[in-house]
Copies of this chain bind each other. A is one copy, B any other.
Amino acid sequence: MSSGKTAAPTMDDIATEAGVSQMTVSRVMRGAGKTSDDVRVRVEKAARKLGYVQNKLASALREETTSLVAVVLPTLKNRVFSEVLNGLNETLISKRILPVFGVSEYSLQREEEIVRELLAWRPRGIVLPGLEHTDATRAAIRASGVRVAEVMDIDGTPMSAAFGISQEAAGRATARYMLEKGYRRFGYIGSQGGRDLRAVKRFSGFCAVVREAGAQMVLNRVITGPSSMVEGRRAMAEVLARSDAPEALYFSNDDLAAGGIMHCLSNGIDIPGQVALAGFNGLSFLEALPIRLTTIETPRLEMGRRAALSVTSSATAQDGSQEPVVADLGFRLVPGDSC
């Protein structure tokens, strides 16, 4: 039984089959140059017959540019990044560009290794989370000459273009809202052991406003692992068990905060009477909860889309020593019933 498990067919194979030169096959495949109808039909038929699939390794090597975009995500355990990835993918695929990706697990060191790995594929562009990177990461990207976009955050100086929101301002806006509602004794519940630098910025914005107002932060509880409703519920239980529990809690994101709400629902604790809560992200599932969480809505899909366009469009001048572009995509404080 002569299995067809030989090497994949090349343009040469098709050329032979169709009785033309390999170059003509190349032209037909790309729809480039002029080809007679007769030849085109024969080539297409031969290609279909042999099950030809272009070898992008070869074409990319020759053309010195790929249809790949590198994407680094801090984690896959948080749906926020799935949403950014979704925005990226949507836009990329419409241009027939594929995403290659890596996960940094919120470690800049890990990010550096992953960036190196990704750059080896000579992607057309690279998308990074946040504005903080090691010098080596920046150097490698600069040296490679690929286009860069940084997403999520705009508090800092982008390498080239940033698409996000001011995390610090989001923290401040939340604090102002809670202060207006009359709360004075605040607590914070965070995750990722402080490695999530965007969360740290929100926290510091929040604290600054609280301090300026003469109110106080009486508690700071940051769990080690990733955020989740379960961890949020657990942390809430611990915090409320203390004799000096704060009157209002700022959670580093909606998942943790929703867990806090669940603890209260299960234990007959009145929100916001006994304790007030606020989150961050504006995830859509909040709309399904019995108590609406006050949160900050962020344009995550849009961050992905804009970043994809940025690293992909030829129009913009990322080439020269242009000024970095900072696109503030804006957030919106969504008042709920939780504070």
A contact residues vs B (CB 8 Å cutoff):
3-5, 7-9, 51, 53-58, 60-61, 64, 66, 68, 76-77, 79, 82-83, 85-86, 89, 93, 96, 98-103, 114, 116-122, 139-140, 142-145, 228-230, 232-233, 255, 258-259, 262-263, 265-266, 284-285, 287-290, 319, 321
A-B contact pairs, 27 of them (CB 8 A): A5-B319, A8-B122, A9-B143, A51-B139, A53-B140, A55-B122, A56-B122, A57-B61, A58-B61, A76-B83, A76-B86, A77-B86, A89-B103, A96-B117, A98-B100, A98-B101, A98-B102, A98-B118, A99-B100, A228-B288, A229-B285, A229-B288, A230-B285, A230-B288, A259-B288, A263-B288, A266-B290
Which of B103, B120, B230, B255 contacts A56, CB < 8 Å? B120
Complex CA–CA separation, A117 to B60 (angstroms) = 14
Do most interface residues of chain A lie in helix, strand or loop, or is the interface mixed?
A: helix
Contacts of A53 in B (CB 8 A): 116, 119-120, 140, 143-144
Q: State how many angstroms separate the Cβ of A78 from the closest Cβ of chain B.
A: 9
> How often does this chain occur in the complex, in copies?
2
Closest chain B residue, CB of each to CB of A64 = B7
Q: State how many angstroms separate the Cβ of A158 from the closest Cβ of chain B.
A: 18
Query: Can you name 9 extra interface pairs (CB under 8 A) apart from A89-B101, A98-B118, A229-B288?
Result: A4-B143, A8-B122, A55-B61, A57-B122, A58-B61, A76-B86, A98-B121, A230-B288, A232-B288
Complex CA–CA separation, A8 to B229 (angstroms) = 46
Complex CA–CA separation, A57 to B119 (angstroms) = 11
A55-B120, A55-B122, A61-B58 given; A228·B290 CB < 8 A: no
Q: Does B117 contact A5, Cβ atoms closer than 8 Å?
A: no
Q: Does A103 contact B98, Cβ atoms closer than 8 Å?
A: no
